[in-house]
Amino acid sequence: MNPFLARLHHLAQAPSRRIIGLMSGTSLDGLDVALCRLTGHGPGTQLELEQFRTIPYSEETRARIRTVFAREQVSLEYLTLLHPWLGSLHATAILECLDDWNIAPAEVDLIASHGQTVYHAPQHQHQRADFPRNATLQLGDGDHVAVETGIITLSDFRQKHIAAGGEGAPLAAYGDFLLLSSPDEERLLLNLGGIANFTYLPRAGGNASTAFSTDTGPGNTLLDATVRAQRPGMQYDEDGRLAAAGQVHEGLLTALLGHAFFAAPLPKTTGPELFSPSFLAEAQQRSGTAHLRLEDTLATLAELSAVGVARAVRAAFAEQAIPAAIYTSGGGAHNPALLAALSRHLPEARFGSTDALGVPGDAKEAILFAVLANEAVAGQPISIGAGRQRVPAVSMGKISFPG
């Protein structure tokens, strides 16, 4: 038997697995590295987060990714070269973390590498009759990660979801359901990343078919892009200070909210391909706000993110009360202007951080991919949410051996 297959068989039978989860989101701020000890599988999986670090991307790395990020036309040669380069970059980051943590690669069982999303194309967005399927593309080849670290690597998780009829996003519902369901309360887990999305979790032991997830619109992507464009050298509005100093412009907000995405039925997915600087520029032109102060533009974009979330939440729970407990994660959870806007639009909800649930908000997405790898190796295909959306019962992740 191939020794790596034998290793996987052993890991599947083991009571726990040590897995590194990797995540680099659409904000392009860096690589999240979460070293997890996962005990068991399926509902009742136990998490111990041993180490976590975010490794900031250099300006060179961000520039290379932006060369192809969310662009309809790119150099095929550049794309081909970037794919293994990112895999090697991520492998180097893992080895540096392990060295700093005094952990040998042989002490890690698996790597779960999300890769870098560079284009997300659900059919409702691309609307091409000659390609009637959803599609997505993540870069950072898993074979390079496995060979350079010497650790079995699972990657490219989203393709299986699409192959089975899903949209490839959001995948958080799977890990959220396994780690964060509670018998005491129903929960809404709100991720304020580049794109905002939430997962609804019924009480544990209740009807799992009612669990579901959906994107709600832009989270930080327009905020960050606007700051970068108008304040060279700044990557984002730290602590939401600029947005907090501005005033919401109702004309611009109305123009932004006029896009059909916000009225589309749930569940739905989107990406920075839609919510791009050109999306903002077109709304500014229609509303005559091209020369609005930066602070006012950011205040309006924070309001847009909050209204998108609130509309989606109220649409999802049109026939019942919204969950009383909303737990936030992602970069937007550090933006007081965005959180204040959310509280205004959902005043009946109690907002907290997933930190209070034992899952640090900044590490949550990397942890969730470690959970998906754990299920792929030791669990069963996960089935949730059949009552509201097509959430395929699948095991996700392509397996790369180090040799």
Of 244, 212, 238, residue with least CA distance to 224: 238
Q: Is 28 annotated as a binding residue?
A: yes
| 205 labeled binding residue | no
Encoded tokens for 367: 């942890």
The reply to whether 115 sits in an annotated binding site is no
Token reading at 198: 């939430």
Q: Which helix (H) or strand (E) holds 243?
A: helix 241-244
Q: Is 26 annotated as a binding residue?
A: yes
DSSP string of 313-360, one letter each residue: HHHHTTTSPPPSEEEEESGGGG-HHHHHHHHHHSTTSEEEEGGGGTS-
List the structure tokens of 125: 């967005």
d(C-alpha 270, C-alpha 219), whole Å: 11
Phi, psi values for residue 337, rounded to 5°: -65, -40
| CA 370 to each of CA 4, 38, 110, 145, 155: distance values in angstroms, whole numbers, following the listed order | 19, 8, 8, 15, 10
Residue type present at position 310: A
Amino acid at 303: E
* 250's tokens: 């109702």
How many whole angstroms separate alpha carbon 327 and alpha carbon 316? 17
**Count of alpha carbons within 13 angstroms of residue 68, beta-carbon side:** 22
* 245: helix, strand or coil: coil
Ligand-binding annotation for 190, yes or no, is no
Q: What sign for the dihedral angle of Cα 306, 312, 313, 314?
A: positive
Asked if residue 296 belongs to a known ligand binding site, the reply is no
DSSP letter for 36, please: E
Residue 86 annotated as binding?
A: no
Q: End-to-end alpha-carbon separation of the chain, Å?
A: 14
Which structure tokens are listed for 378?
């030791």
d(CA 139, CA 124): 23
Stated as kind and residue range, the H or E segment containing 70 is none
Question: Binding residue per annotation — 32?
Answer: yes
Q: Which residues are annotated as a binding site for ATP?
A: 25-32
Q: Which residues are annotated as a binding site?
A: 25-32
